[in-house]
Structures are given as structure tokens and as C-alpha cells.
Amino acid sequence: MALFDIRFTEQQRKQLQRWLIALIFGQAAIGLALFLLGVCVSSSIGANLHSVDRIVVDWVFTVLAMYGLYVLTHNLVGAKLCSNFIRFAEGSGMSLRLFVWTLVGIIVVGVGCVLGSVSLITADHLISQIRRSLNQGMMQYLADPKWKRTLDKMQVQMKCCGIESFTDWHKIFWMRRDVFEEDSSIILEYAELDGRVLPPVVPWSCCRFDVKSPCYHDPFQLQNPEQDLAADTLHVQGCLTAMKGPVLGALFTTVVLLFLQFVLQVVIILLSRLTFTAARNAVALGNRNGQSSGWIYGRLDFGNATGPNLYQIHRKCSGRGDVLVDLKPLVYTSDTE
């Protein structure tokens, strides 16, 4: 008994093949999108992080890029394979090649399902990791030259300041008391007992370069430090906010693309089986251009020789009964018995 037995004409088989190849190229496009997504986010976000934290971001999005490249390669190979279904369906190795390609496709989708579920968990972890990294870097801004270069580069290139906003610099002890004039009454106003100070000062890299006025990242430059002119000359958006959009957008886009890939893979498996078995059965019946039945699993698949043979199935589908008459020499000898 054939599973999901459908009768096709030659034109219908060719049309089915065109749909199949179009879906395969659709999956290849998904693989390319995943590859570009991983590369772009890794290069844009990872490049602005400290070396330790960059490893985490690079690992996540490098895995995504490699998976996308694998999906792209798998489907380009599949497009070539499926384009030969109709012309070379009787080839001894075609059935095996289709089986291996389908099996690899199922594995690819399985890995994609795992990757999709991990992406949802990874999203919150990455944001928390970036927040901790920024907080640590801001505290060591003057003490560690590497962190200073990293944060300055990030704030200039991403046009951001602090974690959530530029006021985060006012809440973190990143400036020691000895960098100020200790006798200043203004500094003493912001000083803590342990020698740390919390003045409303931010690094120069928070300055907006599109503003045609002096940047007041250090309000003590003003004659009246109480004037609030900083917000007009500084980047208001925090660096975590600037990173959160691309990171979360990439991860949730990945989940959507992987779900779409899963749906396409199921359809591709069904269409590939119908296309191949219909083309193979047409050849086995002695008329490559004639009508034939296609199925998901049935006679001649993986050595299956049980149940009605092709002529019986063909005659029954055409309404002529299932009696064997005038059996011709067939490509598949198991159906001549």
C-alpha cells in the first residue's frame, strides 16, 4: 500500500519539480540571511566590546553564521539534485542520494530547532552580560587604558553614552579624588568619605559632534556649574539601548527564520518524494512521458516489493482494474514478477 498516492501527468511532474526547486532556493535564501545576520551583528556589536565579553557575542553569532552557511550549502546541493529527478530518475544511485540529502535536511532542521530555543534563552543572557560589562568598564575607565579605548570607541561610533543614559556616569565611581583640586569646595561637595567622587562629569566621547557649540561634558568648565547645558551637547541614548536593538532583533529574527525553515523543510520533503517517485514510476512503466503515480512511501522504495506492483497500481488508478496484462520488460525487475 502506497502512502499518499497521487497520480501525475508529465506536465504536472514538471510543475511539481519547479515548485520544489523554488522552495529549496527559498530555504537557501534563509540560510544566506542567517549567515549575513550573524556576521553583521558579530562585527558591529562584538567590535565595540572588551575582549572577554566579545568572545561571548562572537561565539553566539559565529555559530549562527556557520549554521546559515551550512543551510545555504545544503540547499544549493539539493537544488542541483532535484533538478535531475525527472531526467535521471531511473539512475541506480538517485534514490540513495535523495535519501541522504533528505536525512541531512532533517538533521539541519533539528539543529535549527535547538538553535531557535537557545536563541530565546541567550537573548536575556547576552543583554545581562553586556550590562555587567559596561558597568565594569565604566568603573575602570581611568584605571585601565584598554577599557578607556573600548568605551571611547563604542560611545563615538554608536553615538551613545553610559548604560541607559549619560547620567549613568554620574552614579558610578569612575573618578578618583586625586584627579581633582582637593581644596575645591565644589569637589568637596561631591566627595565621599572613602575618597571617591560622583561629580556630574562624563567622558569626552559622549559629546555630540553634530552640535555647533561647545560640549559641556564637564560642567565645571562653566562659570556657573549649576547650569544644565550638558543634555543638549551629549548623546542621550545609552550604549546598552543602542546594542539591545540589534542583538534582540537578530535573535528574534533568527527564531522566525528557523520556524519558516522548519515549515519549508516539511513541504520540501513531501514534494521531493512525490516528484521523484512519480518520475521513477513513469520510467518503470515504460513511458517516461506518460502518467504515473507518486507517493511518499510505497513500492520500490528502499527495496519494498510488497503489495500491488506498478502495473496494478497504474491500472487501478486509471479505472481499468488491477489485473496484470501485457507486462513489458521494466527497469525495476521486481515489478516483472
141-156: per-residue pLDDT in tens?
Answer: 888 888 888 899 889 9
HEC assignment per residue over 186-224: HHHHHECCCCEECCCCCCHHHECCCCCCCCCCCHHHCCC
- What single DSSP character describes residue 234? B
- With beta carbons less than 8 A apart as the criterion, state whether 148 and 141 touch: yes
pLDDT at 181 > cutoff 70: no
Given a cut of 80, whether residue 104 has pLDDT beyond it is yes
Angstrom CA distances, 68 to 35, 52, 71, 252, stand at: 4, 25, 5, 15
pLDDT of residue 335: 43
pLDDT tens, residue by residue, 291-301: 777 777 666 56
Provide mean pLDDT across the span 55-82.
88
Phi-psi region of 291 (alpha: psi -120 to 50; beta: other; left: phi over 0): beta
- Torsion, Cα of 238, 243, 245, 249 (10° steps): -170
Task: Output 41 or 229, whichever has higher pLDDT.
Answer: 41
Distance CA 179, CA 164 (A): 26
Is pLDDT of 62 > 70? yes
Rounded distance between C-alpha atoms, residue 218 and residue 122, angstroms: 38
The predicted pLDDT at position 331 comes to 43
- The whole-number average pLDDT for the span 159-186 is 75
| Cα dist from 49 to 36, 183, 276, whole Å | 20, 37, 51
- Structure-block grid coordinates of residue 308: 500491488
Helix (H), strand (E) at residue 43: helix 10-45
Helix (H, G, I), strand (E, B) or coil at 138: helix
- Residue 297, classed as helix, strand or coil, is strand
Alpha carbons 34 and 116: distance in angstroms, whole number: 12
Side chain identity at 260, as an amino acid letter?
L
- Other residues' Cβ atoms within 10 Å of the Cβ of residue 96: 11
Give the start-to-end residue ranges of the domains of the chain: 6-135+241-303, 166-236
pLDDT at 58 over 70: yes
> pTM for the whole thing?
0.73
**Identity (one letter) of the amino acid at 67?**
Y
